[in-house]
Structure formats: structure tokens, C-alpha cells
Structure 1
């Protein structure tokens, strides 16, 4: 091959490569879900509820689902003050505590949002672990660390009091369970080019 034909060969190869990239490409999206649960026990719940003020919360320990840290805020007397003592609501709020794994904390924060759904249930002592009350929300988009799902009512204060009275003598504690499902869409791109590249290269030009 002469030196004068070398630039023409490069142009041919470059044009062939561009043609291959435009002629055949493949992309895919797949759904990934990570599910986890956290249990938080409150002993002597009747005394805790009697001492709590409207808007006062109990925080669970941080727990990890889908590579992110979460906390559940539990409000024995509701998020807002009620005009009647028995009209309050038992409420919960899921908090995205941190959206980065510990070893990422030296790096800049990732800009992507986190999508998650949650289900919160309350089980009573003496009830065999059965869920007496339950609520669910989601999927919800969390837009950064310390963002919230928004308060959700699980039961009224009086409903939970009455349920505990029915099991009086078997214990006065409750177990709050929070099930979280983190959902993400992952994209991948694969360029299939070898066959097209071979077919587009003019072999005669490089002889």
C-alpha cells in the first residue's frame, strides 16, 4: 500500500466506523428492587403515649435498604395537635436519612433521586405477632438526604388504646414494622459493530 493511499484508507475506516455506530446499536432498561424490613419495639406503650405530646416523635435506629440509610419517625399522638384528646392520630413518616453508602461519603453527593415504597404495621404483645394496624405509601420520590415520604396515619389514638386494653395482662408493648422497597431503573448500552464493520470496510483499498 502506497503512502498516498494511507489517508484515503483512514477516511474509509472512519466513515465505516461511523456507519456501523449508526446502523446497529442496542440499549436495554431493567427494573431493580431491593426490599428490607426494620422492627422497632416500644415497651409500656400506654405510658409512652400518655406522656407524649402532639407532634412529639419516636425515631427508630437507622436501617439500610437498597444501599441507603432510612429512619422511621413514629408519632404516638399525631403530627399536629388535636382539639380532642381522643381525636388524635397515630402517624408515621419515612425519612431518607442518607442516600450514600459509607465509603461514598468522601465523594461528591450523587445527584439522582431515590424511589421507594413502604408499608408500616403495628403488632401488639399477646396477639401472636399479628398486625393490628397497617398503612402503606408509594412509590414515592425522595429528592435527597433527610427528605420525607410525608406523614401517614396508621390508626387513631383511641383505636390503639382499645386494642391494648383487649390484650391487657398479656403485655403493654407494641412492635412497629417498616417494610421498604427501593426501586431503580438501570440502563445499559451495547454496540454491536464487528459484523457491520467487516462488511463496510473496502478491503481492496488497503491492499
Structure 2
């Protein structure tokens, strides 16, 4: 009653398609033999590594569908793996071409053990078919196109390792074309990397400044370990695993000096989150001298507590703060004196001048 159409499976990037042609010879006889709910089954055929059959119900299925031919495709794979497939069911004319009015396309369906079939209970109205030219010699030809969708495994994109490669380049000194001299230490580097990371170094190395003509740049007023951490950050975009507040303060000044924005944010955040009575005076002086507004505000808020203020005035950094940044102490006093003591505040501000 059926035959496999000689159409090869077409491998596409995301799917495998194959067509199966079902020929119903003796349409009237089969309609008389099989009652509603009874069916004839095609021979199994394979598409996309899965086995399939076509179920032909000449008097419809389920009940109350006696006026229709029902047609279903069933997933028959023994291992019961799920399969996603799209179906197109066509009645073919005398030339073997699909009849548009008798063509049904089902969206992608997931075939599983719980839902092994897909198709149409109302595939063809029998009275309409029997009055058409497509039932020839009591023979009906139906083509079933099965397209099995292949799940393409998505590649897991690894995180960027550019920082690791640049860090290795810094360690190896391969192709280094310049040297920094800092506090008696020498550090090899790559002109293009340093210039790309710092607009200040870019002006020095690639611009008309004096340093652009030489291969050695002398860095003054910076300790060697601070510059080493700064250079490491320019290549790897990372700070040392253990960044203490003292180093964070030095790096913050260095990052500000060479306009390395992300490092400034990292170091300022570190200082803002580690304010205590011993370090607040030093951090406040640093913030005032270099214009680090977030750090300054965090220090002033910390010192709004009388106990924190008393402890700060007993710390080693207080005398330096008082001598180097008297204006910020005036601002602190203006904050902590209650608003209603305006006259007292004015007297203190006048005496401080």
C-alpha cells in the first residue's frame, strides 16, 4: 500500500529532511474495511536518525470525525529519544506535484514518549476529495515531508584571556622597546601598550615631548613597588590579589598622575570601604590634595561621629592633616557644629583664618 519515495535526505545546517510517499491503492475498499478510529500503517522510514511511520485513518480519528480522512505521523524510535520535527502533508496531483488546497504544514513539534504523534484529524474532507480529480482510479497519493530539526550545540565562549597574554609579554620582555627607571630599578616595557593605556604616557612616548625621542623614561617621586603595580595593571587590567590600603593610596595617586581611570576607581573604592580612625586623617589629606571627591566625602561622613573624630585627632596622621590641609578641617567643623549655632560657627571660622 505504500512505497518509499526515492528522494535523498538533504543535510542542512540545522535540519535533515526526507519525503515519504504513501499510495492508497483501493481507496474505496479500504474505506469500507476500516471503521472510524482504525488505521493502516506505512512501513517505517528513517529521517535524521529517527524512525517514523504514517498512520492513515480512512474514516477519521477520533470519534465524530467520520467525514474526514485523518493522517498522523508517529515517532517510532525504540530508544524513545525526543525529536523536534516539522511536517508537511500533501495530496499529489497526476503529475506528482502537491495540491495547494490539500497541503497542510504543522509547526515544529517535539515528539516524545508522551506525545509520539502529530498530524490532522481533518486532513481531507472525504466528500470533497471524492468529487475531485485527485482520486484517480480509486488511488490516492499522499506525500509526507518530515524535517527533523538538529539542535546545534552552542559553543561556550571562554572569557577573554588578553590580560594573561599581555601579562606574559610583560614578564618575558619579548620585543620590549623602552625602559622605565624608577627609584634605582629598571623595568622593560612596550611603547605601544603603555601609550594605549595612559594618555599621559602617550603624550610622552608618541608626542613631541622630550621623552618621545629616547628609550628610557625616568619616573620621579614614586617608589619602585608602586610603579611595578601600576605597570602590571596597564598590561593585565588587574591589581595585586592582596591590595592593602597603603598601596591603594599610592596607586590612587599614580593612577591620577597618569590618567588611568579604572585603576583610580578601584583604589578609591578600596580606600572608601576601609576607613578607620588610624587611616582617616591620611586618606582625607590625600583626598583634599588630589581632588578625590568620593574619598573626601566618605572621610567627612566617618568623622561626623564624635568618637571617630576624637580617635582621629589622636592618630599619627592628624598633625600632617592639620598642617597640610587646614581648609578641610574648617569644612569638617562647619559640618559637625549644629546648624542652630551659627554665631559660634562664624567665630570659629574667623579664628581659623
Q: TM-score range by the shorter chain?
A: 0.5 to 0.7
Please tell me whether residue 159 in structure 1 is matched to residue 138 in structure 2: no
Deviation at 1:56, TM superposition (A): 0.8
Please tell me whether residue 172 in structure 1 is matched to residue 110 in structure 2: no
Q: 2:38 aligns with which of 32, 37, 56?
A: 56
In structure 2, the partner of 1:42 is 24
Return the alpha-carbon distance in structure 2 between the equivalents of residues 78 and 152 of structure 1: 6
What SS is found at the alignment partner of 2:54? strand
In structure 2, the partner of 1:129 is 96
Task: Report which of the two has the higher share of strand.
Answer: 1
Give unpaired runs (5+ residues) of structure 1. Answer: 1-30, 101-108
Deviation at 1:55, TM superposition (A): 0.7
Of the structure 1 ranges 55-64 and 115-124, higher mean CA displacement relative to structure 2 is found in: 115-124
Please tell me whether residue 94 in structure 1 is matched to residue 73 in structure 2: yes
Q: Do 2:61 and 2:121's aligned partners in 1 also have CA atoms closer than 8 Å?
A: no
Q: Do 1:59 and 1:73's aligned partners in 2 also have CA atoms closer than 8 Å?
A: yes
In structure 1, the partner of 2:88 is 119
Please tell me whether residue 77 in structure 1 is matched to residue 59 in structure 2: yes
Give unpaired runs (5+ residues) of structure 2. Answer: 1-12, 173-353
**Structure 1 residues 97 and 145: CA distance shift in structure 2, 3 A:** farther
Task: Report which of the two has the higher share of helix.
Answer: 2
Q: Do 2:15 and 2:149's aligned partners in 1 also have CA atoms closer than 8 Å?
A: yes
Return the alpha-carbon distance in structure 1 between the equivalents of residues 58 and 28 of structure 2: 10
1:161-200 deviations in whole A, cap 9, x for unaligned? 222xx578x5221112100111233112353766543223
Return the alpha-carbon distance in structure 1 between the equivalents of residues 112 and 33 of structure 2: 34
TM-score by length of 2: 0.39
The root-mean-square deviation of aligned C-alpha atoms, in Å, is 3.0
**Structure 1 residues 148 and 65: CA distance shift in structure 2, 3 A:** same
Q: Do 2:24 and 2:140's aligned partners in 1 also have CA atoms closer than 8 Å?
A: yes
Return the alpha-carbon distance in structure 2 between the equivalents of residues 193 and 99 of structure 1: 44
Please tell me whether residue 200 in structure 1 is matched to residue 200 in structure 2: no
In structure 2, the partner of 1:28 is none
TM-score by length of 1: 0.64
Deviation at 1:159, TM superposition (A): 1.6
Return the alpha-carbon distance in structure 2 between the equivalents of residues 49 and 98 of structure 1: 29
Q: Do 1:81 and 1:88's aligned partners in 2 also have CA atoms closer than 8 Å?
A: no
Q: 2:156 aligns with which of 189, 192, 199?
A: 189
Please tell me whether residue 148 in structure 1 is matched to residue 130 in structure 2: no
Paired residue total: 157
Return the alpha-carbon distance in structure 1 between the equivalents of residues 114 and 166 of structure 2: 52
Q: Do 2:92 and 2:98's aligned partners in 1 also have CA atoms closer than 8 Å?
A: yes
